Amino acid sequence: MSKSASSFTHFAFMPLNNFTMLAFSNAIEVLRMANYLEGKNLYRWSVVSPEGGPVMASNGLSVTTIRADQCIAADNAADVVFVCGGTDTAAAINSATLGLLQHLAQQGITLGSLCTGAFALAKAGLLDGYTCATHWENLSALKSAYPAITFAPDLFVVDRDRITCTGGIAPLDMMLNLISSQVGKTTIAAIADQFILEHVRDHKDQQRVPLTVRMTSARPAMVEVVSLMEANIEEPLSLDELAHLSNSSPRQLQRMFKEHMGMSPTHYYLTLRLRKARELLRQTDMSILSITVACGFQSACHFSKTYREVFSVAPSTERRQQTPVPAALLAASMQQQAAVFV
């Protein structure tokens, strides 16, 4: 029986050939920093592969791995094994990798993925019936190849005994969320401060897919309208103005957004403005009234009501949840760092 993600203490990472070092190291660094700030070894990690030995990353550096069976034994079992993908993932997956993943699943070990590692879990048949996150570059291909899997645009997804994450710095956010119930908000805030991280994103946040990629199958007018929306958050343009500036009609825009976005242009525009508001609430000390104006809302009351409907939390609560790092903890952390250089 797999453990709850909130009680994990032993994390294993299985890099595939040409894995992305950034995603891999971000995940591990959260555990290292948590141990450092707490002054004790709360977490440990192992780097594994089917046969052990060095595995090359896409940047030319390599990591040394141990045989994965050393992390399956009852006295040393990992709570979760993350497959770490990167470039040319399909070529990096062999029968030994698939067999190992299937064996781990049979042992009841929670499985996860970083970046394109989800491809290996999908190919092993271990994501069927699950909701999964993966890097935006692979979403379309995986959706077509694996219809039994639900692919979400989220930064990371925890679905029962599967934990999947996109690439880049998203594994940092995911790991901070995974350990938050164990170490508490104060330590999470301190870790974020150490990493110069302005705020910790959660499972509600979605990866930002480049506009040109999102619109590859759309008309040029569609791309232009979305660009206009993104450039006019504070003073939203009307549907008629958007249609005029893009040489379209309001009816054409309604039809295009329905086809490519699954929603009306008005709804899409509102979503953009609310996401901007969320960033400002989390990353700045702007007043809620100032954010209301900056995101094109006519009243704080309307802004608060709409924000709550979308994010299930009031703007004021969102602001309070961004816990500042206590001065005492920061001072202790700085003393620990200073000792390293003495």
Span 255-302, pLDDT tens digits: 988 887 788 999 989 988 998 888 788 767 789 999 999 999 999 999
pLDDT given at position 177: 93
What's 129's domain CATH number?
Answer: 3.40.50.880
pLDDT given at position 29: 96
pLDDT given at position 74: 64
For the chain, the domain total comes to 2
Q: Is 138 found in the same domain as 81?
A: yes
pLDDT given at position 210: 53
Q: Which residues of the chain have pLDDT under 50?
A: 1, 323-342
Does residue 300 fall inside a structural domain? yes
Q: Is 217 found in the same domain as 184?
A: no
- The answer to whether 256 and 221 have CB atoms below 8 angstroms apart is yes
Q: Is 260 found in the same domain as 169?
A: no
Does residue 13 fall inside a structural domain? yes
Does residue 148 fall inside a structural domain? yes
pLDDT given at position 318: 85
Q: How many CA atoms lie within 13 A of 163 on its CB side?
A: 27
Q: Is 90 found in the same domain as 226?
A: no
Per-residue tokens: 127: 């994501």
Q: Which residues neighbour 179 within 8 Å (Cβ) at sequence distance 6 or greater?
A: 8, 30, 31, 34, 42, 43, 188
pLDDT given at position 215: 53
- The answer to whether 156 and 172 have CB atoms below 8 angstroms apart is no
Question: How much is the pTM?
Answer: 0.66
pLDDT given at position 269: 92
Q: Is 174 found in the same domain as 215?
A: no
Q: In what order do the strands lie in the sheet with 156-159?
A: 53-56, 62-67, 44-49, 10-15, 80-84, 110-114, 162-165, 156-159
Q: Is 26 found in the same domain as 162?
A: yes
What's 306's domain CATH number?
Answer: 1.10.10.60
pLDDT given at position 260: 76
- In angstroms, the Cα distances linking 170 to 99, 109, 125 are 28, 23, 24
Does residue 250 fall inside a structural domain? yes
Q: Is 234 found in the same domain as 170?
A: no
Range of the domain at 290: 211-321
